[in-house]
Amino acid sequence: MPLATSAWLDPGAFAGLAAHLARHEGADLLLSGAGWPDEDLCLAGLRPTAEHVPDPADPKPGLRAFLAAHPGPALGFLSYPLGLDLHGVPSAKPRALPPGLFRKYAALLSWRHSSGRLEILGSDPAL
């Protein structure tokens, strides 16, 4: 995914931008706190272009195929209950989430606490 632009934002400005994107643009956020060495990257995925819900019986093949079939970075998660199921650990708790969800995006924003650098990655100039 080509770099569309970059800028510098202080933490308050990024927090405001991330909140706006989530509330008004439906952005998916993966946020990290400051202070962890090399773990200070925050991501925002904009305008999903593809989505995959893993098969709870065998999530790896479908996830591999999804990631290979659609170019660019993905954001997603595997649920804790899916991990329990895959390891044969029973749970009586109700399932509130799907077994997982992965998405590819038209644009991806990345911001680092350590440098304040904001990068917008995407090939659509309208974004």
In tens, the pLDDT along 11-34 reads 999 999 999 999 999 999 999 887
When mean pLDDT is compared across 35-44, 88-97, 99-108, 109-118, the lowest value belongs to 35-44
Q: Looking at the predicted structure, is the pLDDT value of residue 123 above 70?
A: no
The answer for residues whose C-beta is within 8 angstroms of residue 81's C-beta and 6 or more apart is 91, 93, 95, 97, 99
Looking at residues 45-49, what average pLDDT do you find? 93
pLDDT at 126 over 80: no
**Mean residue pLDDT across the chain:** 89
Establish how many alpha carbons lie within 13 A of residue 110's alpha carbon, considering only the half-sphere containing its beta carbon: 17
On the question of pLDDT at 100 being above 80, the answer is yes
Res. 37: pLDDT tops 80: no
Q: Please compute the mean of the pLDDT values over residues 55-84 and round it to a whole number.
A: 91
Farthest CA pair distance, the chain: 49
Q: Is the pTM of this model over 0.85?
A: no
